Amino acid sequence: MAKQLDQNDVLLEVKNLKKHFISRHGLMGQHTTTVQAVDGVSFKILRGETLGLVGESGCGKSTTGRTIIRLYDVTSGEIIFDGVDISRIKQREMRQYRKKIQMIFQDPYASLNSRMTVGDIIGEPIDIHNIAKGEERQKIIWNLLERVGLNKEHANRYPHEFSGGQRQRIGIARALAVSPKFIICDEPISALDVSIQAQVVNMLQDLQNELGLTYLFIAHDLSMVKHISDRIGVMYLGKLVELANADELYDSPNHPYTQALLSAIPVPDPDATKQGQRIVLEGDVPSPINPPSGCHFRTRCRYAMDICKEVEPEFLEISPNHFSACHLNTIEK
């Protein structure tokens, strides 16, 4: 059943966001290399919505998420959260937003301190933000454990005593400890067994419904995000190339890159009529240090034309709420 979302209630708006990493080298640090990890990305997320973000490894998904939560400084562009531009506020001011915006990571083991008990891991943000002390703090921790399908006995154990799926639940409980509004889920299920992935996704959906959460859900393949996302954005080499409602993106992909990604998803039923030709993308993704001129995708695009080399395609609304950046949409047919 489609969610009822207020189209005017925007929780997050990212406008022309750029994050370039600059490294210095040479004896005196006189040479610089610039990695254009995120290079002009714009999107909105409505309150209560899940926006999926997909694309091959290295296209800038994690950097987008990490820049939104200001783990990285913004190179340029705006991040409007709940009406406030947080792109340039100082880290001290950012503290109050860290309560509202949380992030969960792909590898829960690496993000959980192995020397702390689960109770203390979940309690840490409660202490940092001065949310509760003593018995009240303990109760919050127990409630959070139950909310993510664990129980209060687990509070005294250590991360290594848990399975991957359980550790991800602990990471989610820790994120929920500060009652956030928005959670950036950075490939939270990619490292889990397929049988466990659905459980974690279902839990995230239940939590969203109960707590009114909004998600940015990052994944590298499209099959994973379809189930959880209301809308999906597709990234390629630092740019958003397509953005549409999840169903529409699957049924009528516009961008040649999205078409290729979709054609690579195995169809469970071999007789399924939707099984089209697999589009094989030639070559590797070019380096974000020196991306191709014009359309970044042109070097791997089977429709590449002269204009693609010279002009960067605009991210146009090709039908209501369906955006795509491809010259094929503007040339005369």
Ligand X SMILES: Nc1ncnc2c1ncn2[C@@H]1O[C@H](COP(=O)(O)OP(=O)(O)OP(=O)(O)O)[C@@H](O)[C@H]1O
Tokens of 330: 């503007």
Q: What is the dihedral of CA 54, 56, 58, 62, to 10 degrees?
A: 20
Give the C-alpha separation, 175 to 99, whole Å: 9
Specify the stretch interacting with ligand X by CB under 6 A; choose among 51-59, 136-144, 158-166, 315-323. Answer: 51-59
Query: Does the footprint of ligand X cover residue 21 (CB under 6 A)?
Result: yes
Q: Which is nearer to ligand X, 188 or 288 (CB)?
A: 288
237 or 326: CB nearest ligand X: 237
Stretch that binds ligand X, among 59-67, 112-120, 171-179, 275-283 (CB under 6 A): 59-67
The stretch near ligand X (CB under 6 A) out of 41-49, 57-65, 91-99, 207-215 is 57-65
Q: Are 168 and 108 in contact (CB under 8 A)?
A: yes
Cα separation, 303 vs 289, in Å, equals 24
- Shorter beta-carbon distance to ligand X: residue 79 or 144: 79
Closest listed residue to residue 173, CA positions, set 208, 149, 198? 149
User: Among residues 61 and 181, whose Cβ is nearest to ligand X?
Assistant: 61
Q: Of the two residues 237 and 249, which places its CB atom closer to ligand X in the complex?
A: 237
Q: What backbone torsions phi and psi does residue 242 show, to the nearest 5 degrees?
A: -155, 150
Give the pair of three-digit tokens for residue 51.
């926006």
Specify the 3-state DSSP secondary structure of 245: strand
Q: Closer to ligand X by CB, 126 or 285: give it.
A: 285
Contact call for residue 61 and ligand X (CB under 6 A): yes
Locus of tokens 């610089």: 32
- Which residue, 67, 80, 77, 74, is CA-closest to 16? 77
If you compute the radius of gyration of the chain from its CA atoms, what whole number of angstroms results? 21
User: Restricting to residues 280-319, which ones interact with ligand X according to CB under 6 A?
Assistant: 288
239 binds ligand X (CB under 6 A): no
> What is the smallest separation between the CB atom of 192 and ligand X, expressed in angstroms?
15
Residues 215-234 that bind ligand X (CB under 6 A): 220
Q: Are 97 and 184 in contact (CB under 8 A)?
A: no
State yes or no: residue 58 binds ligand X (CB under 6 A).
yes
| From 11, 17, 37, 191, residue interacting with ligand X (rule: CB under 6 A) | 37
Does 48 participate in binding ligand X (rule CB under 6 A)? no
Paired tokens of 12: 């997050």
Cβ proximity to ligand X, 180 vs 288, nearer residue: 288
Number of residues that bind ligand X (CB under 6 A): 13
- CA atoms of 252 and 258, how far apart (whole Å): 10
Window 157 to 216, contacts with ligand X (CB under 6 A): none
List of residues contacting ligand X (CB under 6 A): 21, 35, 37, 55, 57-63, 220, 288
